[in-house]
Amino acid sequence: MTHTTMRAMVIERTGGPEELVPAAVPYPSRVGSEVLVRVVAAGVNRCDADTRAGRPDSAATDAWPAVLGHDFSGVVVEAPYAAHALKPGDPVYGMAMFPHSTGSYAEYVSVPAMSVARKPASLTHVEAAGVPLAALTAWGMVVEVAKAHEGQRVLVNAGAGGVGHFAVQFAAYFGAHVVATGSERNAGWLRDLGAAEVVDYASSSADRVVRDVDVVLNLVDDDAVAERSLAALRPGGLVVHAPHASWAALAPKAAAAGLRSTGFAVAPDAATLAIVSRLLDSGDVRVYVDDVYDLDEAADAHSRLEQRHTRGKLVLRVTDE
Ligand SMILES: NC(=O)c1ccc[n+]([C@@H]2O[C@H](COP(=O)([O-])OP(=O)(O)OC[C@H]3O[C@@H](n4cnc5c(N)ncnc54)[C@H](OP(=O)(O)O)[C@@H]3O)[C@@H](O)[C@H]2O)c1
């Protein structure tokens, strides 16, 4: 069958969730080392909502209408060449390089092969679509930057979110003593994921009850929360800060307090995703999908995400499994 267009959710301009509308957009043409994937499910991320809203420091696109979305899980339609490791029909998942490519809120996406890994066999496409961007962010912060290890004390600020629930699990997997912040309703679940201590941020703030951690992973987009978390660090400790917008304000405060600090920016990475696949298939790590929406309900998913109380991930179902 020759396609000329495909179904997608697009924005014509930045604004609220209602700007996400269905449209027929050009079918992607695969070039060079790209893999063309039929998308079964697309993960929803805070950076998608930031781009949609045109928030400062979010990725900008100059291709309008813009197909948003980074995460996808689906099936290979076209591989770069006959002897490539990925073949048509293979179940895969990965992270599109939006805004430098068309996003994943669509029936098809064409992405560099280095962004695509085999889908964990034990996961459905809906579950797998919740993994790439959040797990790659958590892995980068926990393993590559903080170098999680036995006995290290790690505070994960917002342990119950998309990135947080992977960060808690990766840090615990590598033997760290994990303290996670979250609301009371998530306390038991966070302990199941591997948190040794949970601080209910509504009744006590982590800086008052947690001391001498080696690392703070900041996943709360709130200058005051980030700044207070510095008090939980031991002298010379490290803060790794994910929200782009508040990084500039935090860096000089960390330096003035004699702490090490860095921002972070996630990138597509098939090799790391292959490791994450093994951890998911072995059951050492799990993904939690809080809710699933149809592709054309993307606006509802964005509204929900922007309330900032998702447990784990939200996913869009593009076609049936
Ligand atoms: N730099 C990068 O490459 C990168 C990549 C990914 C994400 N990010 C950023 O990292 C942040 C987290 O992303 P995400 O996808 O994990 O977000 P998310 O899934 O929307 O986070 C939702 C979670 O935040 C928790 N939360 C809200 N306010 C909190 C507070 N004051 N203290 C503790 N927990 C709180 C909620 O827990 P309760 O329901 O228990 O309240 C909820 O589980 C965002 O700012 C995002 O933009 C950056």
End-of-domain residue from the set 263, 278, 300: 263
pLDDT in tens, 35-58: 999 999 999 999 999 999 998 777
Query: Quick check: CB of 206 below 6 Å from ligand 1?
Result: no
Is the residue at 274 inside a domain? no
Q: Is the pLDDT of residue 1 over 70?
A: no
Strands (E), 124-176: 153-157
**Among the ranges given (175-189, 195-209, 298-312), the one the predictor scored with the smallest mean pLDDT:** 195-209
Q: Are 141 and 123 part of one and the same domain?
A: no
CATH code for the domain in which residue 211 is found = 3.40.50.720
Q: Are 123 and 162 part of one and the same domain?
A: no
pLDDT in tens, 89-127: 999 999 997 667 779 999 999 999 999 999 999 999 999
Write the secondary structure of 240-276 as one string of H (helix), E (strand) and C (coil): EECCCCCHHHHHHHHHHCCCEEEECCCCCCHHHHHHH
CA nearest 317: which of 42, 110, 127?
Answer: 42
CA nearest 94: which of 296, 269, 245?
Answer: 269
> From CA 182, how far away is CA 199, in angstroms rounded?
6
Is the residue at 173 inside a domain? yes
Q: Are 213 and 227 part of one and the same domain?
A: yes
Q: Are 80 and 41 part of one and the same domain?
A: yes
Is the residue at 166 inside a domain? yes
**Continuous segment of H or E residues that includes residue 168:** helix 162-173
Index of the ligand 1 atom closest to the CA of residue 185: 40
If one residue of 44, 45, 46, 181 were mutated to test the ligand 1 pocket, choosing by the most ligand atoms within 8 A of its CB, it would be: 46
Q: Are 142 and 94 part of one and the same domain?
A: no
Residue 121, domain extent: 5-131+287-317
- Name the token pair of 241: 């800060």
pLDDT in tens, 68-82: 999 999 999 999 999
Q: Are 25 and 125 part of one and the same domain?
A: yes
> From CA 214, how far away is CA 176, in angstroms rounded?
10
Report CA(164)–ligand 1 centroid distance (Å): 7
Is the residue at 175 inside a domain? yes
Q: Are 141 and 109 part of one and the same domain?
A: no
Is the residue at 282 inside a domain? no
Mean pLDDT for 9-23 is 97
CA nearest 59: which of 11, 18, 92, 22?
Answer: 11
Report CA(163)–ligand 1 centroid distance (Å): 7
The pLDDT, as a whole number, for residue 244 is 85
The pLDDT, as a whole number, for residue 245 is 81
Query: Quick check: CB of 104 below 6 Å from ligand 1?
Result: no
Q: Are 121 and 138 part of one and the same domain?
A: no
Tally of domains in the chain: 2
Query: Quick check: CB of 162 below 6 Å from ligand 1?
Result: yes
Report CA(86)–ligand 1 centroid distance (Å): 33
Tell me the pLDDT band of 207, cut-offs 50, 70 and 90. confident
CATH code for the domain in which residue 291 is found = 3.90.180.10
Q: Are 246 and 313 part of one and the same domain?
A: no
Q: Are 308 and 229 part of one and the same domain?
A: no
Q: Are 115 and 92 part of one and the same domain?
A: yes
Average pLDDT across the chain, whole number: 95
Is the residue at 270 inside a domain? no
Index of the ligand 1 atom closest to the CA of residue 160: 43
Query: Quick check: CB of 135 below 6 Å from ligand 1?
Result: no
Q: Is the pLDDT of residue 59 over 80?
A: no
- Which residue do the tokens 């962010």 mark? 137
Q: Comparing 191 with 99, which gets the higher pLDDT?
A: 191
The pLDDT, as a whole number, for residue 99 is 67
Mean pLDDT for 117-140 is 98
End-of-domain residue from the set 220, 248, 263: 263
Residue type, 157: N
pLDDT in tens, 28-39: 999 999 999 999
- Which residue do the tokens 């995703």 mark? 273
The pLDDT, as a whole number, for residue 318 is 98
Index of the ligand 1 atom closest to the CA of residue 311: 43
Is the residue at 32 inside a domain? yes
> From CA 199, how far away is CA 210, in angstroms rounded?
9
> From CA 60, how far away is CA 68, in angstroms rounded?
11
Q: Are 20 and 118 part of one and the same domain?
A: yes
Is the residue at 123 inside a domain? yes
For the chain, percent of residues with pLDDT exceeding 90:
88
Query: Quick check: CB of 265 below 6 Å from ligand 1?
Result: yes
